[in-house]
């Protein structure tokens, strides 16, 4: 059988070729599956790498203002968000009843930047809050008033002796009530102090449960418009301090760049607010729940613009702290300087045009 080996070799080669072909096809399938798997894995890895850029974006929590203020304008304009985006921060605007509640939240890590009058930081320091005073404002007391019911027989501050007066404890209303009473030879103990946050005090005043209420805008104008209250005296001639922006030592030390950006944009908002009365009124009408013409009139009650922290500012704040201690309103003497930075540190975070106001 001379042809048998040849046929056998042919079929053997054919079998080998078919096996090789199957191997190649199988290998290609495995290779393509592997490549697809690697590509999917690569995409997942890229997604996992990209995701933290959003997830890791940090938050700065700045108190929301519902007054006719530059802080309210800053939130509405959205410029701070744009300024902080390259720094990896977004902004949240939590709302609080008054300054003392803000600083409680600051101490409990529920707020990063607060905006209060002079007294809340002192009470907070007395309670051990490690706060830092960032900037101050000019004296603007006309937007804070002592209200009495429209038909009240009280015609002068002296008539409040023995009467119930509501106010937020440790607030500007508390401080100015002390100043108002002292101006006519009375003491805080000569009236019945009723400690109530603004929303509760508003109800009590509207229902005639208190004889007076020391409060700020827009509560004052609302009470006048509803004819439930009239201004006995405002803080224009009583106030001798400005407001303060404050943070915690921890936040200041960790994020001075964020604070610098905040103060820069706040000063811009302050200057814009001062020069654009009508636009500000239109912008903040929904915030304050007052009509535009009323807000335009109210604009004159405010003085806009930041002021630098100086030795005079620190000395005055110490006077206020000593006053509260002498009245037994805080449990220990407070050295307010513990919350202030050095001039060199302020120079690094304070806008240059604000520093020039010294």
**68-126 pLDDT tens trace:** 999 999 999 999 999 999 999 999 999 999 999 999 999 999 999 999 999 999 999 99
Task: Decide: residue 103, CB within 10 A, 0-12 exposed, 13-18 middle, 19+ buried.
Answer: buried
Task: Categorize the per-residue pLDDT at 52 as very low, low, confident or very high, splitting at 50, 70 and 90.
Answer: very low
The pLDDT of residue 69? 96
pLDDT score at 9: 43
pTM for this model (two decimals): 0.84
Q: Any residues with CB less than 8 A from the CB of 145 and at least 6 apart, and which?
A: 214, 215, 216, 220, 231, 232, 233, 234, 235
Of 301, 279, 282, nearest in space to 219 by CA? 301
Percentage of the residues of the chain whose pLDDT score is greater than 70? 85
* Confidence check: pLDDT of 214 > 60: yes
Q: What is the pLDDT of residue 55?
A: 54
Greatest Cα-to-Cα distance within the chain, rounded to the nearest angstrom:
140
Instruction: Report residue 32's pLDDT band, with 50, 70 and 90 as the boundaries.
Output: very low
Q: Token match 């002292």: residue?
A: 182
E-strand ranges in the chain read 58-61, 89-92, 114-116, 131-137, 144-149, 164-167, 192-195, 212-216, 229-234, 244-248, 306-307
Domains 58-139+241-355 and 144-233 share a fold: yes
| CATH class (in words) of the domain with range 58-139+241-355 | alpha beta
Return all residues near 144 (Cβ < 8 A) that are at least 6 apart: 172, 173, 176, 214, 215, 216, 217, 220, 234, 235, 239
194's tokens: 């009723």
User: Quick one: pLDDT at residue 266?
Assistant: 98
Q: What is the pLDDT of residues 180-195, one digit of tens each?
A: 999 999 999 999 999 9
Q: Helix, strand, or coil here: 283? A: helix
Q: Judge whether residue 4 has pLDDT over 50.
A: no
Instruction: Map out the domains of the chain as residue ranges.
Output: 58-139+241-355, 144-233
- Per-residue pLDDT, 38: 38
Q: Is the pLDDT of residue 17 over 70?
A: no
Q: What is the pLDDT of residue 289?
A: 93
Could you tell me the fold of the domain covering 144-233?
Answer: D-Maltodextrin-Binding Protein; domain 2 (3.40.190)
Query: Please, what is the average pLDDT of the chain?
Result: 88
Per-residue pLDDT, averaged over 45-64, amounts to: 65
Alpha-carbon distance of 30 to 320, in angstroms, equals 80
CA distances 133 to 120, 130, 303, 346, Å, are 12, 10, 20, 10
pLDDT band of 358, cuts 50, 70, 90: confident
- pLDDT in the model for residue 57: 85
């Amino acid at each position: 059988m001379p042809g048998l080996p040849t046929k056998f070799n042919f079929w053997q080669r054919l079998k080998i070729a078919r096996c090789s072909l199957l191997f190649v096809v199988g290998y290609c399938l495995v290779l393509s599956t592997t490549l697809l798997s690697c590509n999917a894995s690569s995409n997942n890895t890229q997604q996992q790498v990209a995701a933290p850029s959003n997830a890791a974006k940090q938050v700065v929590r700045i108190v929301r203002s519902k007054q006719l203020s530059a802080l309210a304008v800053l939130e509405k304009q959205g410029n701070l968000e744009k300024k902080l985006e390259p720094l990896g921060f977004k902004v949240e605007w939590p709302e609080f009843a008054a300054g003392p509640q803000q600083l409680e939240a600051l101490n409990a890590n529920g707020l990063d930047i607060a905006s209060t009058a002079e007294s809340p930081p002192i009470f907070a320091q007395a309670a051990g809050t490690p706060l830092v005073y960032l900037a101050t404002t000019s004296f603007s007391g006309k937007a804070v008033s002592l209200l009495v019911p429209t038909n009240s027989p009280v015609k002068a501050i002296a008539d409040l002796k023995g009467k119930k007066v509501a106010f937020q404890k440790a607030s500007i209303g508390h401080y100015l009530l002390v100043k108002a009473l002292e101006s006519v030879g009375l003491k805080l103990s000569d009236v019945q102090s009723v400690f109530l946050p603004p929303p509760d005090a508003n109800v009590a005043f509207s229902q005639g449960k208190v004889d007076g209420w020391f409060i700020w805008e827009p509560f004052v104008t609302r009470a006048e418009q509803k004819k439930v209250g009239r201004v006995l005296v405002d803080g224009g001639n009583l106030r001798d301090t400005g407001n303060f922006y404050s943070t915690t030592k921890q936040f200041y030390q960790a994020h001075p760049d964020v604070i610098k950006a905040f103060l820069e944009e706040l000063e811009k908002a302050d200057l814009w607010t001062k020069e654009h009365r009508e636009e500000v009124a239109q912008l903040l009408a929904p915030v304050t729940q007052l009509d535009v013409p009323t807000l335009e009139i109210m604009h004159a009650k405010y003085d806009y613009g930041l002021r630098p922290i100086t030795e005079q500012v620190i000395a005055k704040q110490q006077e206020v702290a000593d006053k509260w201690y002498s009245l037994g309103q805080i449990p220990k003497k407070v050295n307010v300087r513990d919350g202030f930075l050095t001039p060199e540190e302020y120079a690094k975070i304070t806008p240059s045009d604000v520093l020039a106001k010294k």
